[in-house]
Chains A and B, each alone.
Chain A
Amino acid sequence: AQSVSQHNHHVILSEAASLELGCNYSYGGTVNLFWYVQYPGQHLQLLLKYFSGDPLVKGIKGFEAEFIKSKFSFNLRKPSVQWSDTAEYFCAVKDQAGTALIFGKGTTLSVSS
């Protein structure tokens, strides 16, 4: 079965620090990859997605992710985090049927001002 693993459970950064959250998926075929963010008390929102083409994907709020097929990875990056980036971040892959999202366990990011 497909799976997604997120390496970091909780990341604590100071404002202006750079961020990289790891994500690895298990499926070796064509993949559709996503990063979602959940701000405290809010619903899941899509940060960015990769379906095909340029492996460097730019999303909202200055986030980007790089798809590296050989490493089965889709890491999320941001050059300079802000206090408002404090949230839980989920990496997800579409299942082989192209229906459901398979999520990682999530990474909680805490940014101190």
Chain B
Amino acid sequence: DSGVTQTPKHLITATGQRVTLRCSPRSGDLSVYWYQQSLDQGLQFLIHYYNGEERAKGNILERFSAQQFPDLHSELNLSSLELGDSALYFCASSVAGAYNEQFFGPGTRLTVL
């Protein structure tokens, strides 16, 4: 158990819908990262938040957005879902600073039908 929790574990929805994935970082970690793992693209960085502020963006679609709340949990919002959005979405957290290990959550498996 890494100490990072993600809900839900599985999500099945239809094209065009909107979903919200939730992540709670390890106690004391200020940074939250979101990654997408798909068969064709592998593991890709989406976005990084630090203490409530967006710090970096990766290959995140405009249909996707995220935020980090005052209690440091984070939500990833995916809208206008397409079949290709089906993937495993991981959240990771780390303490402040660039040289610290990222601890990964168990992931949310999203299936878009």
- Chain A residues with a Cβ under 8 A of chain B: 32, 34, 36, 42-46, 49, 51, 90, 92, 94-95, 97-106
Contact = CB atoms under 8 A, between A and B. Distances in A.
Interface residues of B, number: 23
A32 to B, nearest CB: 7
A12 B98 CA distance: 35
Contacts of B107: 43
A25 B38 CA distance: 21
Given A99-B98, A100-B33, A103-B43, A43 B2 contact: yes
Contacts of B2: 43, 45
Interface of B: 2, 4, 33, 35, 42-45, 48, 55-56, 58, 90, 92, 98-99, 101-107
A46 B101 contact: yes
A42 B92 CA distance: 14
Given A51-B99, A100-B48, A100-B58, A44 B90 contact: yes
